[in-house]
Amino acid sequence: MAADPRFHPIAAPQSLRAILAAVRGEAAGDPERLFQGLAALDQAGPDELTFIDSPKLAPALAATRAGAVLLRDEMAARAPAGAVLIAVANPQLAFARAVALFHPQRVPAATRHPTAVIAPDADVADDAIIGPYAVIGAGAVVGAGCAIGPHAVVGDGVVLGPRCVIHAHACISHALCGEGVVLHPGARVGQEGFGFLADEAGRFVTKPQLGRVILGDFAQVGANACIDRGTLDDTVIGPHTRLDNLVQIGHNARTGMGCIMAGQSGLSGSVTLEDRVVLGGQVGVADHVRLGRGARIAAQSGIMVDVAPGVEMFGTPAQPIRMAMREISTLRRLAATPRAKQDTKE
């Protein structure tokens, strides 16, 4: 099914020449041939572009009616006659570039809705978009090309670099943001960390939370994700890091460049992720643990000790994934063994 134009405006039909330039691919065919849009492999028609990225989909490739297909060279022999075959190194990445060609993002005009509340001393760029009932606090800085959605809150003193997007109902305080930072709807950034002490009477006293949140260039924070500010040091999210929906980042945690955290994963206080660490869904990391560059943690794992660079871990407590798989396989074999044979072995 093609994209619904009510939500994703469609650009004019695109020539094969324009597509090849956008996706950085090569193909034989009429460079002026026009294509109307994009569609899935099994749904595309003769005037649409699609892609294939897995040999498992070879039967669907053979049956596709698509006018053009993004694929790797080794898949070309399985394609139907008549389709324009566009050779690329990474079909999914190429398709993403094609999407940007056929469905360019809307660029709304700069507006400040009359219901927005903007502090008199806030520094808001002239071309910023400020939506209905948004709040911009005292001393805040909103850079060029920023967009602040309906009911979003940019707290006192917050700095947003150029082209940041704060979606509806997100709020950010005690934070400094680089270029192109995105907070998706309902994200919460800069609130107090989860830290407290008991006084002489057994009542809880919240620890001082005097740090900030630093969001690097092009970091993205998913819907309803939460990032606590630091206690005395800062909480830092590295450039190009992506946090999925419902992610929790504790106070003083730090991520390097290009880290990925899938939904419902969380970092306890003072955790460090070096560059390009990947956490699967529902992964939990105990406080003060360090994960080395390029470490990968499988879904629902619990990390309680440091992880060396490049290591893949699984389980709770987590261990190297091959070891974990061997243990699981051994347990399955034992469970399938009749009790009499087990007794004999004992």
Quick one: which H or E segment has residue 333? Answer: helix 321-336
251 is catalytic: yes
Rg (CA), the chain: 25
Q: How buried is residue 112: exposed, middle or buried, by Cβ count under 10 Å (0-12/13-18/19+)?
A: middle
> Would you call 319 helix, strand, or coil by DSSP?
strand
How far, in Å, CA of 66 to CA of 42, rounded? 8
Q: CA–CA separation, 136 vs 185, rounded Å?
A: 17
CA 184 to chain centre: 10
Q: How many Å from the N-terminal Cα to the C-terminal Cα in the chain?
A: 60
Retrieve residue 120's tokens. Answer: 């008199």
- Residue 59 to residue 134: CA distance in whole angstroms: 51
Nearest-CA neighbor of 148 among 158, 313, 38? 158
> Which H or E run contains 92?
helix 91-102
Q: In this structure, what DSSP letter does residue 32 have?
A: T
Kindly name the residue from 113, 169, 251, 288 that is annotated as catalytic: 251
Query: Tokens representing 269?
Result: 């206080």
Task: Measure the CA–CA gap between 134 and 114, rounded to whole angstroms.
Answer: 10
Could you tell me which residues come within 8 angstroms of residue 173 by beta carbon, excluding any fewer than 6 positions away?
137, 153, 155, 156, 158, 189, 190, 191, 229
Catalytic residue set: 251
